[in-house]
Amino acid sequence: MSRCFIVPPHLLKAISESSANSDVIRQSALAALSSRQDVVVKRKNCLHRAHPRSTAGPFIPAHVLRHISESEHADEASRAAALRTLERDSLTTRAHRMVYDARHVSSEAELPGKLVRAEGDKETKDNTANEAYDNVGTVLEFFKDVFGWKSIDDKYADIISSVHFGEQYENAFWDSKERQMVFGDGDEFLSNFTGCVDVIGHELTHAVTEHTTALNYEGQPGALNEHVSDVFGIMIKQKAQNEKAKDTDWLIGEDCILPGVKGVALRSMKAPGTAYDDPRFGKDPQVDNMRDFQQTYEDNGGVHIYSGIPNKAFYLVAQAFGGYSWEKAGKIWWKTLQTKVHADCTFLQFADATVEIAEQFDPEAAQAVRKAWDEVGVKSDDSGGWCVVL
């Protein structure tokens, strides 16, 4: 994909059309919506690139070089050379974060902007830049510690972020063409994008998806693409807050919604369709069951609307397992992405794959996963295959 925006198009459209909003707000939302439409073709093209899944480390292991650098039996020149090599190799074993100030430019051609904080630098005076730096680090740490995945590509790719994009720009997105995160400052309804670790986790997971399954961004594969980003975004937030599955709110982007809006978040995984209901926003259109699935041409086939169906299934699985969501449910989803999913995967195929992977844990786990998909309307038939119940 070229861009994925955390604020879905149906919400921007509702804001742009609501008579409860001022002309300025409506025009701002319309401009953001128009910008999104311009990149649909580029987004599709990006996802068809081949992405290698493995990485090779240095040929000479670090412990050998460290031993040489400290050995009494090596001369000073050899010890110094080994130490220089160790220092140079260490730069390739972590992702470097770089945060830029976009200075409110509205064109991506002018990004990234002015560098304000790089890996290892002290905090800057710009709190927004510090939030982006810290929360990107939290996301990268989660993928490495929980799944052994290094940065977005498993090769320690650097992560560039630009803050202060546009004027009162109410969105944040991952631009896969430019390979960077972009954050607006927000306006009257939506803001605080750099302060929401689940938002950053969602967006960077789109980048991870490009390097694993490369799910197409249209129809059911596109909804699964959005679903995967919500799953990992919510797990990252839960881990950052040390919350178990039964104790958390399962809300995506709750800290983006400003006071005064009749809503709690951008999306609810526990109860899709209930995140907001405001005359200036419209009502949350997400659905949580296949009986409400309809073919549509809007939003690339409803990728932000129908992602609610697998989102609810993951929530049910995590609740059934108990404990922390990333310990078992998350590992089933991660292994499914790594081994069982292809670019045109449907809900049916994805459900089937998660059950197969769950069986590797134990039969009871597989039953819990199957039951969750049943509850959202994706059911197994008597022959053992899968069907969609409409």
Contact between residue 304 and residue 350 where contact means Cβ atoms under 8 Å apart? no
Name the residue among 124, 97, 104, 108 with its Cα closest to residue 3: 108
User: 281 — alpha (psi -120 to 50), left (phi > 0) or beta?
Assistant: alpha
Question: Catalytic site residue 203?
Answer: yes
Task: Indicate the residue type of 257.
Answer: I
* DSSP label of 282: E
Q: Which of 170, 203, 226, 254 is catalytic?
A: 203
Q: Measured between alpha carbons, how far is 107 from 115 in angstroms, rounded to an integer?
A: 17
C-alpha dist (Å) from residue 82 to 62, 73, 92, 94, 371: 9, 13, 16, 19, 56
At 114, the amino acid letter reads K
Sign of the Cα torsion 360, 365, 369, 371 reads positive
Residue in the structure block whose two tokens are 């919506």: 33
- Whole-angstrom distance, CA of residue 86 vs CA of residue 10: 51
Residue tagged 């409409």 (tokens): 390
Read off the tokens for 331.
Answer: 């590992």
* Backbone Cα Rg of the chain: 22
Confirm whether 48 is a catalytic residue.
Answer: no
Euclidean distance between CA atoms 383 and 386, whole angstroms: 9
Q: Across the chain, where does the E strand assignment appear?
A: 3-5, 97-101, 114-118, 159-165, 172-175, 180-184, 251-252, 267-268, 277-278, 282-283, 378-380, 386-388
Residue 194 DSSP class: G
d(CA 353, CA 333): 9
Q: Residues 290, 292, 296, CA angle at the centre, nearest 5°?
A: 100
Rounded CA-CA distance 241/263 in Å is: 22
- How many CB atoms lie under 10 A from the CB of residue 103? 12
Angle, in degrees to the nearest 10, between helices 23-37 and 9-17: 150
Q: In what order do the strands lie in the sheet with 114-118?
A: 3-5, 172-175, 180-184, 159-165, 97-101, 114-118
Q: Which residues carry out catalysis?
A: 203, 304
